[in-house]
A and B are shown apart, each in its own frame.
Chain A
Amino acid sequence: MSSSHAPRITIDRARVEQIAKLAALSLEEDEVEALARDLAAIVSYVEELEALDTTDVPPTANVRLGASQWREDAVQPGLSHEDALAQAPRAEHDGFAVPAFVEG
């Protein structure tokens, strides 16, 4: 029963900004407020699941109707280098070009 009681959390501006950072979304100022309101309503709605006793119920991640099968490990034609780069917003030196980044 360890997960039977969901932490009721407040979805406010700060929370939305924190989640947005995890999701790599830079939100507009005016969006944050509206999204916080919407998310609070939705999260409170989904908390109705708490009412159900799911002790000893296994989770379903996927409805598996048959065992997945391995594909033969054979070389197949794939995308050409040109095709793969054709849709890139910026391609340089035969690769995808991105803005400079230094992380550490």
Chain B
Amino acid sequence: MSDAISSLSVCALAEKVQRGEVKAAEVAEATLARIERVDPKLHGFLSVTRDAMTARAKEIDAKRARGETLGPLAGVPVAIKDAICTRGIATTAGSKILDGYVPPYDATVIARLFAADALVPGKTNMDEFAMGSSNENSAYGPAKNPWDTSRAPGGSSGGSAVAVAARMSPAALGSDTGGSIRQPAAFTGTVGVKPTYGRVSRYGLVAFASSLDQIGPFATDVRGAARVLGVVAGKDAKDATSLDAPVADYEAACGASVRGMRIGVPEEYFAAGLDGEVAASVRAAIAALEEEGCVVRPVKLPHTRFAVATYYVIATAEASSNLARFDGVRYGLRVEKTRAGAKGDLRAMYGATRDAGFGREVKRRILLGTFVLSAGYYDAYYLKAQKVRTLIVRDFEAAFRDVDVIASPTAPTPAFGLGEKTGDPLSMYLADVYTLPASLAGIPAISVPCAPAPSGLPIGLQLMAPALEEARLFALASAWEKRSPSRAPAL
């Protein structure tokens, strides 16, 4: 029974709980059993919130017993990236500097999930402060790819992807700054959505790069991701950047006709550096969509190759500023003694706390960000990158005059091996080459599994749409999914 519950999709599970065929308490029990069985070898979770989930499940069952209608995520477990604040539940952002930090408030997305009667099974593993593409920058050790545990699950939301891929939770929330939802979705054979910048409130998300960060869902299927996004999306008075635009009916878009939809294929995304198997799988998926009645044509995104450099200047600049708050004063780690063992003054405390609390990649990015913002270099690096960002935005504006959606690979390769890229930060950054442009342009994008590599490793098809046109992504992704239903790894 337990694995039967765990194999259900978001919508199938919610329907069973709404009808009373399965109790939320049974879902909680099955979820905990599944996590206990498979997570020791995957390390997708940093904490499992057994008691809180069990208590909430009972409340949901009581609500139904009273005759109340349950919400759209009735009894559905949604695992939460550990960068999202949960009241009374430790939130580390994958960093030692927040070890043991217990937020006194819930992020808006958490409040919305609870209002929809969802369950939260726990907090998922991630690269420290969402800085990474493999999960290896987690201060608590990496999550492993359930398709091959010697490989990375992708990052930074690797734990959320693992939780969904391994069917420990049919859905999860992650955050995507430069590909942190889409790339792990591609690596693990799950569906991952980076919504339009501002579509989902970030109140309670530990900030990395504020002009880029966006929360979004993972799910085992397209409709599940659509339902979760529908629940968490929308204006929030607590986040000034959240958009006051109506939330479309994403679920209705799933299964809608895609006949006549114009799909652009950017040649720049199929250039050198793209793995041959990935190229073949993605092209086959695009050809299949053509058979479904879509019109496929080439588009040009000429500034694509500058996205990595642009992103690593802008994101690190914003991170160096955002991470200034971790100073050992109000929360988190504090180290008062200098390395020599002397008790230092306030400045020494800041320096020692940040040295002990931040990992190597975070320090690297703080230093790069501080440098590009520093006097004498601001114009040459930071301002220059902001101007190139404009060119990347314009590339998309021009392309979307001719097409409705742009299709590409999500990542240049299938999941790479753990340890393969850790010695060379630049090669790790290049793993994000296809996801960064949409982040810089603020547009929505989805990664949906396409045909796996001959090795069995998942491959992701990325679809991008103009701002606030998430519904197009769901329509197209679900048309593809009908031909290629999702697979689960054997565990």
Contact = CB atoms under 8 A, between A and B. Distances in A.
Contact of A79 (B105, B240, B351, B384): B105
Contact of A19 (B331, B338, B349, B367): B367
A34 B102 CA distance: 34
A14 interface: no
Contacts of A96: 329-330
B388 A63 contact: no
B351 A87 contact: no
Contact of B374 (A19, A57, A58): A19
A49 B383 CA distance: 11
Contacts of A61: 211, 386
A44 to B, nearest CB: 9
A31 B360 contact: yes
A88 B344 CA distance: 19
B393 A60 contact: yes
Contacts of B245: 65-66
Which residue among B327, B339, B352, B354 has the maximum number of chain A CB atoms within 10 Å of its CB?
A: B354
B6 to A, nearest CB: 35
A46 to B, nearest CB: 4
A80 to B, nearest CB: 8
A48 interface: yes
Contact of B354 (A25, A59, A90): A25
Given A26-B352, A58-B390, A66-B245, A35 B363 contact: yes
A39 B346 contact: no
A96 B355 CA distance: 21
B35 to A, nearest CB: 27
B358 interface: yes
Contacts of A68: 240-241
Contacts of A5: 380
A83 B211 CA distance: 29
A62 B211 contact: yes
Interface string A25-67: 1111001001100110111011111101010011111110110
Contacts of A62: 211, 241
Interface string A71-104: 1000000010001101111100000101111100
Contacts of A63: 197, 211, 393, 440-442, 467
A88 B329 contact: yes
A42 B330 contact: no
Given A25-B354, A48-B309, A98-B346, 7 more contacts: A16-B367, A24-B354, A42-B429, A52-B391, A62-B241, A65-B468, A79-B104
Interface of A: 2-3, 5-7, 9, 11, 16, 19-20, 22-28, 31, 34-35, 38-39, 41-43, 45-50, 52, 54, 57-63, 65-66, 68-69, 71, 79, 83-84, 86-90, 96, 98-102
The 3 closest A-B pairs by CB, nearest first: A63-B442, A26-B351, A59-B386
